[in-house]
Amino acid sequence: MKKAFLIALLTGVFATAAHAQSSVTLYGLIDAGLSYVSNQSAAGSTAGHSKFAMTDASINPDRFGVRGSEDLGGGLTAIFTLENGFTLSNGALGQHGLMFGRQAFVGLSSTQFGTVTLGRQYDAMVDYLAPLAGAGAAKGGVFFGHPYDNDNLQNTMRINNAVKYASPNYDGWRFGSLYGFSNAAGSFSNNRAYSFGTSYDNGPFRFAAAYLQLNNGGTATNLTGATDSIVNAADQVTGSDSTFSAGQQRTFGAGLDYVLGPATVGFVFTETKLEDAIGINNTSSSPIPLGNASSLRFDNYEVNALYSVTPAFTVTGSYTFTDGSSSLSGASDPKWNQFNLLLDYALSRRTDVYVEGQFQHLSGGGTWFTADINGLSPSATSSQVAVTAGLRTRF
């Protein structure tokens, strides 16, 4: 009788545990290398100089995080993610010193209705379109990004005060949307953001499209809104999570991938339009002030390919033509051409070594623009070359 009672008690305990399953996972990624970069400006000089240096995150930015889930029953799960970005070479916090600057959100996920999350999150350009681009984490990464990461496919920018919805997977089709509140009384649209996107992934064909809009992003008009800004005593933006400081930013794009055995080929088009743009923030040097520009536009045309030579060895390449236009005084329309190549060898499921190279050339742009490979300091001239050897590990 006692044995039967004990068995019944243990069965009830394990049934309760199975119903209320929960998990908390610590995870991270570290990516570091040595780089040669040409034509970088030196202090007190306008000439370009070669540089040999340790670089961080030439493919994926360094991070560690905690994610968790709790099964609430009936197909409903509570979820959260807290993710920190940092610089390996000096231990500094990323994202302008934020503790969980990469992601910080909590939400509910339903197998039937989808997922709703609240917090600091990625927009639809990152969630849906970026995986098809050379700058995506599964392909070339940071240095493959388009000039200034103008379309956010390399996830330079996150959205604060964001409510996000992501649909379930309907036989390969997904969709979602995001709204970032301004959090300002009487100024509902001042530094707000909204974004939506969709993707289809079934068989050898993948397609995605996305849209992002910011109002007064990266400006000093509302520092508690959807994008972060660091402002000095003179009310000048000296750093921002937003790629640009502008009255309005509209970014949209679409792309496709096709798998041919061990090869994947893709094409991505994006366009970013800026109104009342006053600065470019995403540079490895100080922000670029633009005065009172009425408009800027970046059209990016990218072709990319990935080939698995063996299960451990992959080759990734891309070419991007960025057609820019501006109303800046004395500036001709800038046009960037960039070639990228990455050779990656997996030592294990967690660790790989790689060699990659970039070449970028700019024509036009006047005195406002130079060559500027994403993630590196701008060139002093219209051309820039970078070669990097690195090591990446995950946990």
What was the pLDDT predicted at 9?
36
What is the value of pTM for the model shown?
A: 0.90
pLDDT over 70 for what percent of the chain? 90
Tell whether 13 is covered by a domain. no
Q: Which of 91-100, 276-285, 289-298, 315-324 has the highest mean pLDDT?
A: 315-324
Average pLDDT, integer, range 106-115 = 97
Find the angle CA(335)-CA(336)-CA(338) to the nearest 5 degrees. 160
Tell whether 245 is covered by a domain. yes
> pLDDT band for position 239 (50/70/90)?
low
CB atoms near residue 271 (< 10 Å): 16
Tell whether 210 is covered by a domain. yes
* Alpha-carbon span 40 to 381, nearest angstrom: 8
Tell whether 226 is covered by a domain. yes
Residue range 140-164, pLDDT digits in tens:
999 999 999 999 999 999 999 999 9
Provide CB contacts within 8 A for 221, sequence distance 6+. 190, 191
Paired with 173 in beta bridges are: 170, 200
Tell whether 6 is covered by a domain. no
Per the CB < 8 A criterion, the answer to whether 153 and 172 are in contact is: no
Tell whether 171 is covered by a domain. yes
Find the angle CA(9)-CA(14)-CA(17) to the nearest 5 degrees. 130
CATH number, residue 211: 2.40.160.10
> pLDDT band for position 310 (50/70/90)?
very high
Q: What domain range is 123 assigned to?
A: 27-366+377-394
Tell whether 132 is covered by a domain. yes
> pLDDT band for position 19 (50/70/90)?
very low
What was the pLDDT predicted at 232?
62
Per the CB < 8 A criterion, the answer to whether 134 and 144 are in contact is: yes
Return the SS3 of 184.
coil
Provide CB contacts within 8 A for 116, sequence distance 6+. 107, 108, 163, 164, 165
* Alpha-carbon span 151 to 157, nearest angstrom: 10
* Alpha-carbon span 55 to 32, nearest angstrom: 6
* Alpha-carbon span 62 to 169, nearest angstrom: 29
* Alpha-carbon span 130 to 136, nearest angstrom: 5
* Alpha-carbon span 254 to 207, nearest angstrom: 8
Concatenating the DSSP letter of every residue in 331-393 gives: -PPPEEEEEEEEEEEESSSSEEEEEEEEEEEEE--TTT-----TTSPPBSSSEEEEEEEEEEE
Per the CB < 8 A criterion, the answer to whether 270 and 135 are in contact is: no
If one counts the domains in the chain, the total is 1
Tell whether 7 is covered by a domain. no
* Three-state secondary structure readout of 223-257: CCCCCCEEECCCCCEEEECCCEEEEEEEEEEEEEE
